Structure 1
Amino acid sequence: MNDNMSLNKIDLSASLVARLYPRSLSLSTDGIETAAPQVSQPLMEDTGVIEESSAPLLQKTSPDWKSLGGNNKNITVVVDYATDLHLPDVAFEFLSQMLNACKLGPNDVAIINRSNYRETGYQELLEHFESKTVLLFGVTASGFGFPFETPFYQVQNFSGYTVMHAPTLDALKDDKPAKMQLWTAFKKIFNL
């Protein structure tokens, strides 16, 4: 076999990975990883599509944690799509392009759909995902639960978090002036 070819180093697009692995790796409260029966552990580490669940099995009040991405850099991306588990493919592809421009990938963020957590407070969400940076798309800062509001693309530091909100990914995708404002905010957030 060629040295450059390996089953452990196959590059897949982010949208293809999301479609191939709608269910993914879970983490229990003791940190022991368990995988869905049809998926092997090494493949999940390489793909970056990780769904975390840290709620104890007997505790019924905790939410069933659902996220997309590896959360390696404690960046929480919040979207709000009532008809999707995470977000539509087109929105995911656009988000992936924006992250790539910032030298980030899906492995670096946790994408959470606010519609999955209507009854969960923002502090509980941010603590669970160990957030440091919070990017809100289609969700205002106060709509997420923060005790403040800001204009689109304004970077706000609050209680140890860096927060920015913008229109929905769908609205941004084809709006060049809005994408330029978003890029300006990203340069400030990620020191680009």
Structure 2
Amino acid sequence: MVSQLTTDGEGLRLFFTDDIYLVKEPEGTLNEEVQVYVKDEASSPAQPLIVNEPIIPLVKVQPEFKFLGNNNRNILILVYDEHNDVSDERGRELLRKIVKSINLTASDFALLNYAKYKEASYEQLKARFSSVIVFAFGVSSQQLGLKQHPENTVVTEGEVKLIFSSALQKLDEDANGKKVLWGSLKQLGL
């Protein structure tokens, strides 16, 4: 027996001869009424055909973050460097010193270069890394979609403690900035 189903465009045109227009209505909720206008050759204006179909909202897909470390203590370290995976040699050395001074190992934190994920919001990062502490070197609070926070001080967003600082290369040259940052790091009690 020959199948009567067809996906051939020419064959389908024999059955579906009316033009169909989808009209975008203001954003709505699920199970909202959608109007589809069908143009019939016999009548001049397009007549609405009411269809009760659910509107499926678009779902934003979480980006797949590539990071270093195991994040066992839910500590996120953000760096910003367009040219290197983490930073140049001086910046990496400063980061090693900072991490060592607060008794962290690579298994304790996740290290992410934010330059590769500029569109990621604080909420996306928080959801992915379940962070309780965030260190941001060269990433401002505004870039993450948060209100402005001062540099090198501990701030709180919900249950998460954050410290925003300048980029590692710049911080390495700023003795006063390092001193203020060290005072803030001691407040965390890590």
TM-score class, shorter = 0.5 to 0.7
Equivalent in the alignment of 2:103: 103
Does residue 157 of structure 1 match 2:156?
yes
Residue 174 of structure 1 pairs with residue 161 of structure 2: no
Partner residue in 1 for 2:66: 66
**Corresponding letter in the other structure for 2:173:** D
C-alpha distance in structure 2 between counterparts of 1:171 and 1:177, whole Å: 12
State the SS of the aligned residue for 1:144.
coil
SS at match of 2:76: strand
In structure 1, runs of 5+ residues without a counterpart are 1-59
For 1:186, the equivalent position in structure 2 comes to 185
The reply to whether residue 127 of structure 1 matches residue 132 of structure 2 is no
Distance of 1:171 and 1:132 partners within structure 2: 26
AA aligned opposite 1:139: V
Q: Deviations over 1:74-112 (max 9, x none)?
A: 111111111223333432221111111111122211111
Secondary structure of 2:119 counterpart: coil
Residue aligned with 1:100, SS:
helix
The CA distance in 1 between the partners of 2:132 and 2:104, in whole Å, is 15
SS of the residue 1:106 aligns to: coil
Q: 1:94 to 1:138 in 2, by over 3 A?
A: same
In the superposition, the TM-score normalised over structure 2's length comes to 0.63
Cα drift, residue 139 of structure 1:
1.3
**Matched length:** 132
- What letter matches 2:140 in structure 1? T
Contact 2:153-2:181 at 8 Å conserved across structures:
no
Distance 1:91 1:178 in 2: 14
Amino acid at match of 2:145: G
Q: TM-score, normalised by structure 1?
A: 0.63
CA apart distance, 1:144? 1.8
Structure with greater helix percent: 1
Structure 2's unaligned 5+ residue stretches are 1-59
Q: Is the 8 A contact 2:120 2:144 kept in 1?
A: no
- In the TM superposition, 1:1-192 aligns within 5 A as 61-146=61-146, 148-189=147-188, 191=189
Structure 1 runs of 4+ off > 4 angstroms? Answer: none
Distance 2:72 2:61 in 1: 27
Superposed CA deviations along residues 110-143 of structure 1, whole A, max 9, x for unmatched, are 1111111122222111211111101111111122
Deviation at 1:182, TM superposition (A): 0.6
Distance in 2, matches of 1:139 and 1:119, equals: 12
CA distance in 1, matches of 2:75, 2:106: 10
The one-letter code matched in structure 2 to 1:98 is I
Q: Judging by fraction of residues, say which structure has more strand.
A: 2
- Kindly report the root-mean-square deviation, in angstroms, between the aligned alpha carbons of the 2 structures: 2.0
**Separation in 2, partners of 1:130, 1:87:** 24
Q: Is the 8 A contact 1:141 1:150 kept in 2?
A: yes
